[in-house]
Amino acid sequence: MNLKKSISYHIGAWVAFAGYEIISLLMVTGTVGDFESYLLHYLINILLFYCHVGIVLKYSFSTGRAEHRLLFLPLLILEITAYLLLSYFADYLLGSRVSRYFGKSGMHWPFIFSSAWRAIYFIGFASTYYLFLRFRKSTKRTAALEKLAINRELKEKRLALALADSKNAYLRAQVNPHFLMNTLTFIYNKTHQSEPHTSQAVFYLSKVLRYIIDADHGPELTALGLKLNRWITFSSFAG
């Protein structure tokens, strides 16, 4: 999934969630807050959500280090405290809940409890989303490993088939020369008495073929080649 599509999905999910909460509040209380209050507080909630996923949980559990996991609780307390302060500052700017929950001495417990509960509420959503991301990543890794194993198995099977073909080709290469040599031997035996020159040619031809099949050699002439050349020259003059 590309970044643009992912962002559009997230925006759509947050709009649907905010609409669900506003409609639910309207059905229960019959009242709706002002747009600026909803916008500012949902921005704080969304900030808490992504900070918990991308900073607190990722730092505490993605690295696999024990000292990072020990920092999870202090980071959790820190982000809840930051959420309370941001909520207080938002209410102070908007002038909404401050008049109900704040006096000259500062924060009152009803505001602290309600805001802390709201923070825990979104932290729970963020934790669920983080677990979903980990599960999807693990699933993709497992699928990639399975695909790699299948490709390796297919490659091994192709190599085995290629080896079998090579063995069959080697056997065919052995069978064909032997068949040819046996044929030449048969012709030599049949023409040895009646056609001595022909049988002699077949004999030397079989020698040449056997030499080509059984021995590695260079371009130089051998004793067999010289003898064959002399026999061919003699036969051409004699004929």
| Cα–Cα dist 72/140, whole Å | 27
Domain boundaries, the chain: 33-155, 192-238
pLDDT of the residue at 56:
93
Is the alpha carbon torsion for 209, 215, 220, 226 positive or negative?
A: negative
* pLDDT less than 70: residues of the chain: 1, 96-107, 171-179, 212-239
**106 CB contacts (<8 Å, ≥6 apart)?**
none
Buried b (16+ CB within 10 A) or exposed e, 144-180: eeeeeeeeeeeeeeeeeeeeeeeeeeeeeeeeeeeee
pLDDT of the residue at 42:
93
pLDDT of the residue at 103:
47
pLDDT of the residue at 15:
93
Buried b (16+ CB within 10 A) or exposed e, 27-61: eeeeeeeeeebeebbbebbbebbebbbeebbeebe
Widest distance between CA atoms in the chain: 136
pLDDT of the residue at 163:
87
pLDDT of the residue at 32:
78
pLDDT of the residue at 48:
95
pLDDT of the residue at 125:
94
pLDDT tens profile 205-236: 777 777 766 655 445 545 555 555 554 444 44
pLDDT of the residue at 175:
58
| Verdict on whether the full-model pTM lies above 0.75 | no
pLDDT of the residue at 99:
44
